[in-house]
């Protein structure tokens, strides 16, 4: 019997919003994942320091995914003292789940386009599949990718979600999700200027932000 595919969803989640939640939920259903494991980053190595502390970002994800048995939270990157790299998290999860377990890293199209700047990025394909979700303003166009990434994309392109459970790693599957032009950046801006961010992210997350006076 083939092993069920586990989804892995990393991000800064600064803060988590409905764009993230729909990506994870639609991936879970459309790609037939047993679960989506959320991996809030600790101190990210490849981008600016997040606006708010890792512990707060972790708590906000906890509140956002509460009540969805298809979602789980992995706090390891937040609890680690060293900067987070996706490749080291995937190595940890690969040794936890064994060499045959299909793992799929979920990414938005903007994150995928920047993949070749990530630490040891070419090793990611030996550790997990990649599923690339559509995101408004970020078309998945192979010829717009950096050459080395374009090459990997063309060589690894999968047509169907069924490709994911036939190998533990190595395929790249683009998939479309409901277009939600929401970003954490625009939410932080709204909060900083006392504009309303309501209905862009779950109310319990917004309440947490207000209670802890984040993003001001």
Tokens of 104: 């799929």
Q: How far is the CB of 47 from ligand ATP (least distance, A)?
A: 8
Largest CA distance in the chain: 54
Q: How far is the CB of 108 from ligand ATP (least distance, A)?
A: 2
Residue 94: helix, strand or coil by DSSP? helix
Closer CB to ligand ATP, 52 or 158, in the complex: 52
144: DSSP letter: G
Q: How far is the CB of 100 from ligand ATP (least distance, A)?
A: 26
Residues that bind ligand ATP in the complex, under the rule CB under 6 A = 11-14, 19-20, 23, 107-108, 110-111, 133, 135, 180, 182-185
Closer CB to ligand ATP, 20 or 166, in the complex: 20
Q: How far is the CB of 15 from ligand ATP (least distance, A)?
A: 9
Angle between helices 18-30 and 54-65 (to 10 degrees): 50
> What is the C-alpha separation between 56 and 201, in angstroms, rounded?
15
Q: Closest CB to ligand ATP belongs to which residue?
A: 108
Closer CB to ligand ATP, 39 or 98, in the complex: 39
Question: What is the arrangement of strands in the sheet containing 35-40, beginning at the earlier edge strand?
Answer: 71-73, 35-40, 6-11, 103-108, 129-133, 172-175
């Amino acid at each position: 019997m083939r092993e069920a595919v586990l989804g892995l969803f990393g991000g800064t989640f600064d803060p988590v919003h409905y764009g993230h939640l729909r990506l994870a939920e639609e991936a879970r259903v459309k790609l037939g994942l047993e679960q989506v494991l959320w991996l809030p980053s600790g101190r990210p190595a490849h981008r600016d320091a997040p606006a708010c502390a890792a512990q707060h970002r972790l708590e906000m994800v906890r509140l956002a995914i509460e009540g969805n048995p298809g979602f789980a939270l992995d706090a390891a990157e937040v609890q680690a003292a060293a900067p987070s790299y996706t490749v080291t998290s995937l190595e940890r999860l690969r040794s936890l789940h064994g060499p045959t377990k299909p793992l799929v890293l979920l990414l938005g199209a903007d994150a995928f386009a920047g993949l070749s700047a990530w630490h040891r990025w070419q090793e990611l394909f030996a550790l997990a599949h990649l599923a690339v979700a559509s995101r408004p303003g970020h078309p998945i166009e192979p010829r717009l990718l950096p050459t080395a990434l374009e090459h990997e994309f063309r060589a690894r392109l999968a047509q169907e979600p069924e490709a994911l459970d036939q190998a533990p790693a190595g395929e790249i599957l683009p998939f479309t999700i409901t277009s939600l032009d929401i970003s954490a950046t625009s939410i932080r801006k709204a909060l900083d200027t006392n504009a309303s961010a309501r209905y862009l992210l779950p109310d319990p997350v917004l309440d947490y932000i207000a209670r802890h006076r984040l993003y001001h």
